[in-house]
């Protein structure tokens, strides 16, 4: 017998796959220069890497915004930097207002900084209104305009590659 939680997750995944195909078919890549950056990552990378600061320094930008996925625990205090599976409806819609505001912001660049498939992070990337999306290779190529093959613990290596590509396609100046 399927539990309510498993049914919810199965339905959520079906909705995600449907929206992913639609988004891929209707993708329009912006040629706008990058001035605003959003970052979606996991709690592990959020706690071990100064990712926001590294992105700002590497791309010579200020005020990057970051949101981090952490599995739901009753004991966690609410945070405007974290989201969990509880912040999504059973249809996959983001229901937490500050996280919804983050994904609704039309960032010039969204970085999906996670190296393992995660339905909630991938759904957040998909729902983001960012005009250009970049992520780590081998997670879900349909989500991103550019994927970078890199060890996520080597953030400088990832950002060096990212910067090369962004200069090449004239989204940032050298």
Q: Is the separation of the CB atoms in 138 and 150 below 8 Å? A: no
- The predicted pLDDT at position 32 comes to 83
DSSP state of 139: S
The pLDDT of residue 136 is 95
Flag whether 137 is in a domain. yes
Q: 80 lies in a domain?
A: yes
Q: Which domain holds residue 50?
A: 4-168
Number of domains making up the chain = 1
CATH code of the domain covering residue 129: 3.40.50
Do residues 84 and 69 lie in contact, with contact meaning Cβ atoms separated by under 8 Å? Answer: yes
Could you tell me which of 139, 66, 129, 127 has the C-alpha nearest to residue 92? 127
Q: Could you state, in chain order, the average pLDDT of each consecutive group of 10 residues for the chain (174 residues)?
A: 62 77 71 92 92 94 94 85 90 91 96 94 95 93 92 94 93 82
Which residue pairs, CB below 8 angstroms and at least 24 apart, start in 122-126?
122/16, 123/12, 123/16, 123/88, 123/92, 124/40, 124/67, 124/69, 124/83, 124/94, 124/99, 125/40, 126/16, 126/19, 126/20, 126/23
CB contact at 8 A, 33 and 172: yes
- Domain assignment present for residue 48? The answer is yes
> Could you identify the residue written with the tokens 């500050």?
98
Q: Does 173 reside within a domain?
A: no
Identify whether 174 is part of a domain.
no
Q: What does residue 101 show for φ and ψ, rounded to 5 degrees?
A: -60, -40
In this prediction, residue 64 carries a pLDDT of 95
Quick one: DSSP state of residue 113? E
pTM: 0.88
What b/e readout covers 13-34, taking b as 16+ CB neighbours within 10 angstroms? eebbeeebeeeeeeeeeeeeeb
Q: Going by C-beta distance under 8 Å and a sequence separation of 6 or more, which residues neighbour residue 59?
A: 34, 37, 109, 159, 162, 163, 166, 172
Q: What is the pLDDT of residue 31?
A: 75
């Amino acid at each position: 017998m399927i539990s309510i939680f498993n049914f919810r997750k199965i339905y959520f995944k079906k909705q995600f796959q449907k929206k992913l195909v639609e988004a891929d078919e209707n993708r329009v890549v912006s040629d706008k220069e990058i001035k605003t950056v959003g970052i979606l990552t996991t709690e592990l990378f959020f706690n071990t890497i100064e990712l926001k600061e590294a992105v700002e320094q590497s791309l010579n930008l200020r005020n990057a915004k970051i949101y981090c996925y952490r599995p739901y625990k009753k004991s966690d205090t609410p945070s405007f930097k974290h989201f969990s599976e509880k912040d999504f409806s059973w249809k996959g819609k983001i229901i937490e207002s500050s996280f919804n505001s983050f994904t609704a912001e039309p960032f010039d660049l969204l970085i999906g900084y996670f190296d393992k498939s995660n339905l909630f992070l991938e759904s957040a990337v998909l729902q983001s209104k960012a005009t250009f999306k970049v992520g780590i290779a081998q997670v879900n190529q349909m989500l991103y305009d550019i994927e970078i093959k890199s060890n996520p613990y080597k953030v400088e290596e990832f950002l060096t590659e990212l910067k090369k590509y962004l200069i090449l396609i004239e989204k940032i100046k050298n």
